[in-house]
Amino acid sequence: MSRPRRERRSVVAVEAIGAYVLVRVTRGSLDPGIPGQFFMLEAPGRVLPRPMSLCLAPRGELAFLLDPIGPGTRALAALEPNDRLHVFGPLGNGFRLDVERPLLVGGGIGIAPLPYLAEALEQPPAVLGFRSEHHAEAAALLPGADVVIDPVLVTDAMPGGRDVLACGPEPMLEAVRAIAPDAQLAWEAPMACGYGACYGCVVEIDGELKRLCVEGPVLCSS
Name the residues that contact other proteins, by CB under 8 A.
6, 40, 42, 46-49, 71-72, 86, 88, 189-193, 195-203, 208-209, 214
Shortest distance, CB of residue 198 to other proteins, whole angstroms? 5
Of 98 and 204, nearer to other proteins (C-beta) is 204
Shortest distance, CB of residue 79 to other proteins, whole angstroms? 17
H helix or E strand, kind and range, residue 134:
helix 133-136
Residue 152, Cβ neighbours under 10 Å: how many?
Answer: 11
Q: Torsion angle, CA of 168/217/46/200, rounded to 10 degrees?
A: 110
Of 80 and 208, nearer to other proteins (C-beta) is 208
β-pairing, 184-186 vs 163-167, is parallel
Of 68 and 125, nearer to other proteins (C-beta) is 68
Of 49 and 115, nearer to other proteins (C-beta) is 49
Shortest distance, CB of residue 72 to other proteins, whole angstroms? 7
Shortest distance, CB of residue 115 to other proteins, whole angstroms? 27
Of 47 and 98, nearer to other proteins (C-beta) is 47
Of 179 and 197, nearer to other proteins (C-beta) is 197
Shortest distance, CB of residue 1 to other proteins, whole angstroms? 14
Q: Give residue 177's region: left, alpha or beta (phi > 0; psi -120 to 50).
A: alpha
Task: Give the closest residue to 186 by CA, choosing from 206, 168, 163, 211.
Answer: 168
List, in order, residues 6 or more apart from 139 with CB less than 8 Å away: 111, 128, 130, 145, 147
Indicate the residue type of 91.
Answer: L
Q: Torsion angle, CA of 181/100/58/60, rounded to 10 degrees?
A: 100
Shortest distance, CB of residue 213 to other proteins, whole angstroms? 9
